[in-house]
Structure 1
Amino acid sequence: METSTLNFAGAPADARAAAKKRRLIAAAAVGNALEFYDFTVYSFFAILIGKLFFPVHSSFGQLMLAVASFGVGFVTRPLGGLVIGMYADRVGRKRAMIATLLIMALGTATIAVAPTYAQAGIAAPLLLVIARLLQGFASGGEVGASTTLLIEQAPQAQRGFYASFQFSSQGLAALVGALTGVVLTSTLSAAQLESWGWRVPFVIGTLFAPLGYWLRRTVDETPAAARSASASREDAASLPLADVLRHHGKAVFTGLGITIGGTSIHYIIVFYMAIYGVQVLHLPSWLSMMAGCIAGATLAIVTPIGGCLSDRYGRNRIVWWTRIALMLTIYPAFVALNRWPGAVSLLTIIAALSCVHAINIGAMSAMLGELFPRAVRATGGALVYSIGVAIFGGFAQFFVTWLIAATGDANAPAYYAIGCGALTLIALRSMDDKAGKPLD
Structure 2
Amino acid sequence: MNSVSMTGVRKGKLSRTQLIVAATIGNALEFFDFTVYSFFALTIGKLFFPTMSSYGQLLASVATFGVGFVMRPLGGIVIGAYADRAGRKPAMTLTIFMMALGCMLIGLAPTYAQIGVAAPVLIVFARLLQGFSAGGEVGASTTLLIEAGTPANRGLLGSFQFASQGIGVSLGALMAGLLTTFVAPDALLAWGWRVPFLMGVAIAPIGMWIRRRLDEQLPQQASVVRMPVLAVLRDHGRRAALGILLTIGSTVTAYVVTFYMPTYAIHELKVPAPTALLAGLVSGVVTFVVGPLSGLLCDRFSRRTLIFWPRVGVLLLIYPAFLWLTSGPDAARLLITVGGLSVLLALQAAPSITMLPEMFPRAVRATGMAIVYGIGVAIFGGFAQTVATWLVKSTGNLLAPAWYVMACVTISCLALPFIRDLTGKPLED
TM-score, structure 1 as length reference: 0.89
Q: Which digits, 9 at most, give the CA deviation of each residue in 1:212-264, with x for residues without a partner? A: 0011111122x3xx125x3466x7xx211111111112211211111001111
Question: In the alignment, which residue of structure 2 is the partner of 1:103?
Answer: 98
Query: Aligned letter for 2:239?
Result: A
Query: Higher Cα Rg: structure 1 or 2?
Result: 1
Offset of residue 405 of structure 1: 5.3
Residues 1:66 and 2:61 aligned together: yes
In structure 2, distance between residues paired with 1:317 and 1:58? 46
Question: In the alignment, which residue of structure 1 is the partner of 2:277?
Answer: 289
Counterpart among 343, 346, 350 of residue 331 in structure 2: 343
Q: Is the 8 A contact 1:82 1:379 kept in 2?
A: yes
Question: In the alignment, which residue of structure 2 is the partner of 1:257?
Answer: 245
Q: Is the 8 A contact 1:25 1:165 kept in 2?
A: yes
Offset of residue 411 of structure 1: 2.7
In structure 2, distance between residues paired with 1:339 and 1:153? 48
Alignment of 1:39-438 (within 5 A): 39-54=34-49, 56=51, 58-221=53-216, 223=217, 226-228=218-220, 230-231=221-222, 238-404=226-392, 409-438=397-426
In structure 1, distance between residues paired with 2:29 and 2:45? 22
Q: Is the 8 A contact 2:24 2:141 kept in 1?
A: yes
Offset of residue 22 of structure 1: 0.9
Q: Is the 8 A contact 1:31 1:101 kept in 2?
A: yes
Q: Residues 352 and 439 from structure 1, CA distance in 2 versus in 1: closer, same or farther, beyond 3 angstroms? A: same
Q: Is the 8 A contact 1:307 1:365 kept in 2?
A: no
In structure 2, distance between residues paired with 1:212 and 1:109? 16
Offset of residue 324 of structure 1: 1.2
In structure 2, distance between residues paired with 1:132 and 1:60? 21
In structure 2, distance between residues paired with 1:106 and 1:365? 26
Q: Is the 8 A contact 2:302 2:421 kept in 1?
A: yes
The percentage of aligned residue pairs carrying the same residue is: 51
**What secondary structure, in the 3-state scheme, does the structure 1 residue paired with 2:153 have?**
helix
In structure 1, distance between residues paired with 2:21 and 2:401? 35
Query: Aligned letter for 1:73?
Result: G
Offset of residue 17 of structure 1: 6.7
Q: Which digits, 9 at most, give the CA deviation of each residue in 1:102-158, with x for residues without a partner? A: 111111112222233344344333222221111010011111110000000123311
**What secondary structure, in the 3-state scheme, does the structure 1 residue paired with 2:152 have?**
helix
Query: Aligned letter for 1:178?
Result: A
Q: Which digits, 9 at most, give the CA deviation of each residue in 1:377-423, with x for residues without a partner? A: 01111111011111111122233344445655433322222222222
In structure 1, distance between residues paired with 2:325 and 2:275? 14
Q: Which has the higher helix share?
A: 1
**What secondary structure, in the 3-state scheme, does the structure 2 residue paired with 1:282 have?**
coil
Offset of residue 372 of structure 1: 0.5
In structure 2, distance between residues paired with 1:74 and 1:300? 23
In structure 1, distance between residues paired with 2:385 and 2:48? 23
Alignment of 1:2-17 (within 5 A): none
**What secondary structure, in the 3-state scheme, does the structure 2 residue paired with 1:154 have?**
coil
RMSD: 2.3
Query: Greater CA deviation, 48-57 or 172-181?
Result: 48-57
**What secondary structure, in the 3-state scheme, does the structure 2 residue paired with 1:281 have?**
coil
5+ unaligned residues in a row in structure 2: which ranges? 3-10
In structure 2, distance between residues paired with 1:118 and 1:281? 30
Q: How many residues align?
A: 420
5+ unaligned residues in a row in structure 1: which ranges? 1-8, 11-15
Q: Is the 8 A contact 2:308 2:413 kept in 1?
A: yes
Question: In the alignment, which residue of structure 2 is the partner of 1:13?
Answer: none
Offset of residue 23 of structure 1: 1.1
Offset of residue 281 of structure 1: 3.2
In structure 1, distance between residues paired with 2:425 and 2:319? 37
Offset of residue 20 of structure 1: 1.2
Query: Greater CA deviation, 103-112 or 371-380?
Result: 103-112
Offset of residue 41 of structure 1: 1.2
Offset of residue 171 of structure 1: 1.1
In structure 1, distance between residues paired with 2:306 and 2:342? 15
**What secondary structure, in the 3-state scheme, does the structure 1 residue paired with 2:15 have?**
helix
Q: Which digits, 9 at most, give the CA deviation of each residue in 1:287-317, with x for residues without a partner? A: 2201111111111111110111001111111
Q: Is the 8 A contact 1:112 1:200 kept in 2?
A: yes
Q: Is the 8 A contact 2:311 2:348 kept in 1?
A: yes
**What secondary structure, in the 3-state scheme, does the structure 2 residue paired with 1:104 have?**
helix
In structure 1, distance between residues paired with 2:393 and 2:368? 36
**What secondary structure, in the 3-state scheme, does the structure 2 residue paired with 1:366 have?**
helix
In structure 2, distance between residues paired with 1:336 and 1:113? 41
